[in-house]
């Protein structure tokens, strides 16, 4: 939706203009979660999805922290500064803007007491003019294009002014902490123990910060068997000590009646039939078929003694004389023809 840019211009939305990010997240969730899942299956597969996203994020962090891209622009100092500060994906956008900055020219320069205002123009496009203000004290830049305020990256006009001023390193004022490689350093190193607010919210923040450090410990502790055994024993001992200290057990809280409280697996219910859930497993006998006529087990309707007597399949004419075996063989064709004529007369 291109019309949305006019309404969100100047406000930081991290490049969001449509619901494509949400739809992408829903598509990833759909690979792990289905509508027929119960609460236990949903929580299990949802955790698998979260682990999948975190693994992808760790892989992208690894690619950003290790290795250096090949410099391609005519301003290697600025490009190298961007490669050192930005993540890999954000650096690609920064390099594209740095390549397009050669088409921007500075037509005016107005010096004031605390700042210098530059008027920039696109090559052979006099109708496209933007002003860039450089504040000396804060060493900050402001452009009327508002790309930095909208997305957090310097626009081509600010980059053109940096090239004009012969600056070889990006100022800290135009490097957004969100897009930098050190964005997670403060998050991982911060201690949320003294934060005030909701108890549940503080607890969740503490768990998230602690899990990040546990991940780092697990990666290096599992490399060798001796380290794995020693650190595992330490963790088990410290966990038992903290459980005794805080009055928390591994079996969960117990009620007055002695029954355990907590979330358990739901009772499995069969979708068809009542089942035999109340009967012991060994008591299940082989199901025997009953007669549909008398209801007695042991025979079927076709062999039921109380059923109707079986009828003969063909009836013999009592008036027909019984012919001896020898005569029947000799007059067999004649008798067959006679029977055929008698059947036709009956039909007529």
293 pLDDT higher than 80: yes
Q: How far apart are CA 79 and CA 170, in angstroms?
A: 9
pLDDT at 331: 44
Residue 215 is encoded by which pair of tokens?
């991940």
Strand pairing category for 125-135 and 104-111: unpaired
Three-class SS of residue 105?
Answer: strand
Model pLDDT for residues 210-262, shown as the tens digit of each residue: 887 888 888 888 989 999 999 999 999 998 888 888 887 654 444 434 444 55
Which of 25-34, 96-105, 319-328 is modeled with the greatest confidence?
96-105
Q: What is the structure's pLDDT at 102?
A: 93
Identify the residue with better confidence: 193 or 34. 34
**Is the model's pLDDT at 345 over the cut of 80?**
no
Which residues, including other chains, have CB under 8 Å from residue 250's CB and lie 6 or more apart?
243
Q: How many CA atoms lie within 13 A of 14 on its CB side?
A: 5
User: 187-196, 233-242, 270-279, 322-331: which range is least confident on average?
Assistant: 322-331
Between 344 and 137, the higher pLDDT residue: 137
Cα distance between residue 13 and residue 1, in whole Å: 15
Return the minimum-mean-pLDDT range out of 146-155, 280-289, 324-333. 324-333
Q: What pLDDT shows up at residue 179? A: 92
pLDDT band at 26 (very low <50, low <70, confident <90, very high): confident
Q: Is the pLDDT of residue 63 over 70?
A: yes
Tell me, what's the pLDDT at 198?
64
Give, as one character, the DSSP assignment of residue 146: -
Given a contact cutoff of 8 angstroms between Cβ atoms, the answer to whether 161 and 174 are in contact is no
Averaged pLDDT of the chain: 78
Q: What angle do CA 176, 180, 181 make, to 5 degrees?
A: 165
Q: Which residue has the higher pLDDT, 200 or 89?
A: 89
Residue with tokens 């009953």: 290
Residue 103 CA to residue 94 CA, distance in Å, equals: 15
Residues 182-201, mean pLDDT to the nearest whole number: 60
Lowest-confidence range among 73-77, 130-134, 290-294, 320-324?
Answer: 320-324
Radius of gyration of the chain (CA): 43
pTM, two decimals, is 0.54
Q: Are 48 and 37 in contact (CB under 8 A)?
A: no
Q: Is 295 exposed, middle or buried (0-12, 13-18, 19+ CB in 10 A)?
A: exposed
Provide the pLDDT for residue 18. Answer: 74
pLDDT band at 130 (very low <50, low <70, confident <90, very high): very high
CA distances from 28 to 47, 139, 155, 168 (A): 13, 43, 33, 41
Q: In the prediction, which pLDDT does 337 show?
A: 44
CA distance 79 to 85: 10
Q: What is the mean pLDDT of residues 149-166?
A: 94
CA-nearest of 289, 346, 285 to 317 is 346
What's the CA gap between 105 and 122, in Å, rounded? 6
For residue range 163-172, list pLDDT tens digits in order: 999 999 999 9
Question: Is pLDDT of 178 > 80?
Answer: yes
Tell me: pLDDT of 10 over 90. no
Q: pLDDT of 303-342, one tens digit each?
A: 888 876 544 444 444 444 444 444 444 444 444 444 444 4
What confidence score (pLDDT) does residue 342 get? 47
């Amino acid at each position: 939706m291109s019309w949305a840019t006019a309404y969100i211009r100047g406000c930081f939305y991290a490049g969001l203009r449509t619901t494509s990010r949400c739809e992408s997240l829903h598509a990833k969730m759909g690979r792990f979660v289905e509508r027929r899942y119960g609460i236990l299956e949903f929580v299990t597969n949802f955790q698998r999805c979260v682990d999948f996203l975190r693994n992808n994020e760790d892989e992208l962090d690894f690619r950003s922290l290790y290795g250096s891209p090949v410099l391609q622009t005519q301003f290697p100092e600025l490009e190298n500064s961007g490669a050192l500060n930005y993540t890999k994906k954000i650096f690609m956008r920064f390099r594209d803007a740095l390549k397009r900055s050669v088409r921007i020219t500075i037509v005016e320069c107005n010096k004031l007491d605390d700042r210098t205002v530059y008027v920039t123009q696109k090559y052979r496009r006099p109708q496209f003019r933007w002003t860039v203000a450089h504040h000396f004290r804060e060493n900050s830049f402001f452009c009327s294009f508002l790309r930095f305020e909208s997305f957090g990256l310097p626009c081509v006009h600010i980059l053109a002014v940096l090239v004009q001023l012969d600056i070889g390193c990006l100022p800290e004022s135009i490097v957004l902490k969100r897009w930098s490689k050190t964005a997670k350093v403060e998050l991982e190193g911060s201690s949320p123990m003294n934060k005030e607010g909701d108890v549940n919210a503080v607890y969740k923040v503490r768990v998230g910060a602690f899990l990040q450090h546990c991940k780092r410990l697990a990666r290096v502790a599992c490399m060798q068997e001796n380290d794995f055994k020693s650190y595992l024993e330490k963790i088990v001992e410290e966990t038992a000590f903290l459980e005794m200290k805080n009055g928390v057990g591994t079996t969960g809280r117990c009620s007055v009646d002695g029954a355990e409280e907590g979330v358990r697996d739901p009772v499995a219910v069969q979708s068809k039939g009542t089942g035999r859930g109340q009967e012991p497993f060994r008591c299940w006998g082989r199901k025997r078929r009953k007669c549909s006529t008398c209801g007695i087990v042991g025979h079927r309707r076709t062999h039921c003694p109380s059923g109707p007597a079986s009828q003969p399949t063909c009836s013999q004419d009592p008036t027909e004389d019984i012919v001896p075996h020898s005569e029947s063989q000799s007059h067999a064709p004649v008798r067959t023809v006679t029977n055929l004529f008698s059947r036709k007369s009956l039909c007529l």
